Amino acid sequence: MTTSFPPRGDLRRRVLAGEPTVGAFVGLGSPAAAELVARAGFDWALVDLEHGMGSVADLHAQLLAVQTTPTAALVRVPSVERLRIDRALDLGADGVMLPQVRSAAEAHDGVSWMRYPPDGVRGVALATRGAGYGAVDHPAIAARVNESLLGVFQVESPEAVSAADDLASIDGVDVLFVGPADLSHNMGIPGQISHPDFTAALDQVIAATRRHGKAAGILLRDGASVAASHARGFTFLGVGSDLAFVIAGARRELDAARDALRA
């Protein structure tokens, strides 16, 4: 169990060192589900406010649930806006995922909203959970927090793929994370993740992160898909969600019961 207050910078250090990490999305809006995912031992759990069932009103409890464990608590904000990013970080997220980033200009804005001055324009409030409830004073807050936060920027469009090198060159863009569903749909090849154009896009993103010492991330269907993706160059690996785990477990046990009754 960790005793350090958020944001805890260990995940960012590991990611930028090139260490593979495995995480899961948390979308049920349930603190219990978030805690169960974290206690399973994932490196990170990402509370999904873009597509998940919970809202920012549910976020504090989910962050607390994850951060009773060593698992890092990340938040996918609904959109790249200053107040949405600020709110997640003030509540104590260890990092944020920004969806639908299409250009370096948007990424620069996102990084600036994540960081306290002089590195950014995040509003300074020391009495927040993300600032240690006043445990860090004004002279130390920027250095303590800015370097701890993991910045995950999603590549979900042909424009973002084309801008991958510019995106990866930005300090604070730590991970370029491919969303296969959105990217394939926006490329006009929905769901065709083996299509040559799609795999070429993946390689372009991976090459950009390698040139700039950043990490390439992707959301996978399951843990069995990790080996091939890691061999390709992905190191920030999402392997499902609390919702998917419930569905898979329920179906597996029901199938076993039906098979037993038919035997």
CA neighbor of 98 nearest in space, from 177, 216, 16 = 177
Q: How far is it, in rounded angstroms, from Cα 184 to Cα 181? A: 5
Question: Quick check: is 195 catalytic?
Answer: no
Q: How far is it, in rounded angstroms, from Cα 24 to Cα 219? A: 9
Kind of pairing between the strands at 44-48 and 21-26 = parallel
**Beta-carbon-side half-sphere exposure of residue 19 (alpha carbons within 13 Å):** 12
Supply 172's token pair: 């604070």
CA neighbor of 110 nearest in space, from 92, 132, 86, 130 = 86
Q: Residues with Cβ < 8 Å from 160, sequence gap 6 or more?
A: 101, 102, 103, 154, 167
**Beta-carbon-side half-sphere exposure of residue 230 (alpha carbons within 13 Å):** 15
Measured in degrees and rounded to the nearest 5, phi and psi for residue 119 equal -85, -15
Q: How far is it, in rounded angstroms, from Cα 187 to Cα 155? A: 12
- Of 51, 185, 195, 230, catalytic: 51
Supply 256's token pair: 């076993």
Helix (H, G, I), strand (E, B) or coil at 7: coil
Residue 188 falls in which region: left (phi positive, over 0), alpha (psi -120 to 50) or beta = left
Neighbours of 246 (CB within 10 A): 13
Residues with active-site annotation: 51
